[in-house]
Amino acid sequence: MAKITLKDGSVREVENGSTYQDFVKSLSNSLAKKVLVAKVDGKVTDLFAPINHDANVEFLTWDDADGRWALRHTASHILAQALKRLYKNDNIQLAIGPAIDNGFYYDIDMDRQLTDKDLADIEKEMKRIVKENLPLSRSELPRAEAIAKFKAEGESYKVQLIEDLPEDAIISLYTQGEFTDLCAGPHVVSTGKVKALKLQSIAGAYWRGDEHNKMLQRIYGTAFEKQSDLDDYLHMLEEAKKRDHRKLGKQLDLFSLHEEGPGFPFFHPNGMVIRNELINYWREVHRRYGYQEIKTPIILNRQLWETSGHWDHYKENMYFTKIDGDDYAIKPMNCPGGMLVYNSRQHSYRDLPLRLGELGLVHRHEKSGELHGLFRVRNFTQDDAHLFVTPDQVEEEIQHTIDLFDEVYSTFGLTYVAELSTRPEDSMGSDEDWELATNGLRKALEHRGLKYIVNEGDGAFYGPKIDFHLKDSIGRTWQCGTIQYDMQMPEKFDLTYVGEDGEKHRPIMLHRVVYGSIERFIGILIENYAGAFPTWLAPVQARILPITDKQADYAHELRKKMFDLGLRIEVDDRNEKIGKKIRESQMLKTPYSLVVGDQEMNDGTVAVRKYGEQQSETMKVEDFIAYLQDQIATKAKKY
């Protein structure tokens, strides 16, 4: 008998040789219907795997990332099986087919060039395989036998994968019906578990990502446990296309990207309005929360980056230059400069917590194929802050920082999920330091009562962190804010403060960003608002639309009156029909279109049409100005 310890701490005895699926059925039939895979001593495992030792076991459903991953991994095998059935006469060879975020893909090599029309036939065959509800099973072969098997089947890419493994490796295979694939797993118990799937696109992909290798065909798809979830996801994708910040950035004249500087965005006047409003708000909030602003140089010498650890741990992402024959680097992070500012004078415990904020321009090398609008660029402004605290101030300072995050994100109507990221493989510091730092972040989250998930091994090289994943108006999540606990930098830069005992002590440092990157945050806001920014952020807050030339002078008088009050107003005095002016003002997503004719000019009024509405409301000019000023002052989310 094997002793199985469950997540709640209870222990059950299970007969050796029975499967995890048998075991979960003995616990609860309703749970068994939901479970996709098991996690055994921290490793995700097939439900059909036999139980043969004492273990800690957790059962994972669609609600767990590893559960979704397993189901989508199985969907990729269903795709491969469908391709083998349909194109067996086209010399088809399978390469790799993993699960990925939000879906899966499979790379193939075949004589036939697939088109979007073929996707419908492939998807139909996949649904037939799902309906067949084929059970999956795992088997193993010695390396030599596995090579012989796939050579005989003409699967040269599988042979290459196996040949790269050690000679004593045991090769795992997964079988469903007539189809067997090379795979490490895990998978769900049967093809029938993949109840909702959709093939989305075909693209080219070099074998193993190497441009010197053959170009393969890559088929992308997604899979869900329920059809309703798939429908919601596809609707979200359609909505996301309409909100693409690159398209809207051009339409609204916010920013541009040029081949003269790939990954280096150019902000236009309209985009600078949004950028400056975000910076103004950042400064106002941080002043209230007790921050002081600093500015550090963009270029600093090699010795500094060696001291910080970036030269050894981050060099491949950095840009370099020489000055007077010495090596210098363009900063990829603001932290080392902040260390020098702190060290420029001696600090007392009375100075702490010391909160130093910086809107620092950083440069990081990204591969050209990974650049994406404002979301993935090579230079961006981080709204950094470095918080220097005593050990007994850590938790309170984290709570203070989360209070700031709550205020900022709620201003934009964004909610978030917190994620605790732990020690990565490439890291600095002792086990004791990492345990202390990770527990400090965990306690702060738990004492606040904040729900969070753990992302093992995804911390920074110098410390664990809490990431804040923002949820936008169509349900997508974006990683923006972060709080990082760092005991390494203060040690490396020999930071100290004088304690109450008159002795020198080492401060703890917290790194944190709210927006993350101003450029990326603007991209997120463009898509969150679909380009229709709230009044306080809108590049043009109102457009005055005279019906005829007779009202043009009045329109410009109104514009000057509002402009002098700090409002962003434009006049459309073109010789066009008023209907066209209104439509174009709506296309530019102007919060308020103000129509003025003879009646309005005589009465000192404007006909106000809010963005997205069909009806207008007549208001006194003074009343509209007061209303607009209130919208801006309160940072109202709706017009």
Catalytically annotated residues: 335, 364, 382, 384, 386, 465, 511
Mention every residue, 6+ apart, whose C-beta is less than 8 A from residue 317. Answer: 332, 364, 365, 366
How far apart (Å, rounded) are the C-alpha atoms in residues 225 and 198? 12
Long-range contacts of 243-246 (CB under 8 A, 24+ apart): 243/474, 243/526, 243/527, 243/528, 243/530, 243/531, 244/373, 244/527, 245/373, 245/374, 245/375, 245/522, 245/523, 245/524, 245/526, 245/527, 246/373
Q: Which of 456, 441, 433, 460 is nearest to 309 (CA)?
A: 460
Pairing mode of beta strands 196-206, 215-224: antiparallel
Q: How far apart are CA 204 and CA 209, in angstroms?
A: 10
For residue 197, CA distances in Å to 22, 167, 233 come to: 27, 38, 11
Q: Is 369 exposed, middle or buried (0-12, 13-18, 19+ CB in 10 A)?
A: exposed
Q: How far apart are the C-alpha atoms of 213 and 200, rounded to whole Å?
A: 25
Backbone angles phi, psi at 9, to 5 degrees: 95, -10
Angle at 66 between CA 239 and CA 23, to 5 degrees: 135
Asked whether 139 and 88 are in contact (CB, 8 A), the reply is no
Residues 6 or more apart in contact with residue 207 via CB below 8 angstroms: 95, 107, 109, 157, 213, 214, 215, 216
CB 222 within 8 A of CB 231: no
Question: What does 354-372 look like in DSSP terms, one character per residue?
Answer: EEEEEEEEEE----GGG-B
Number of C-beta neighbours around residue 219 at 10 A: 25
Nearest alpha-carbon partner for 252 in 589, 629, 618, 603: 589
Instruction: Provide the β-strand partners of residue 222.
Output: 198
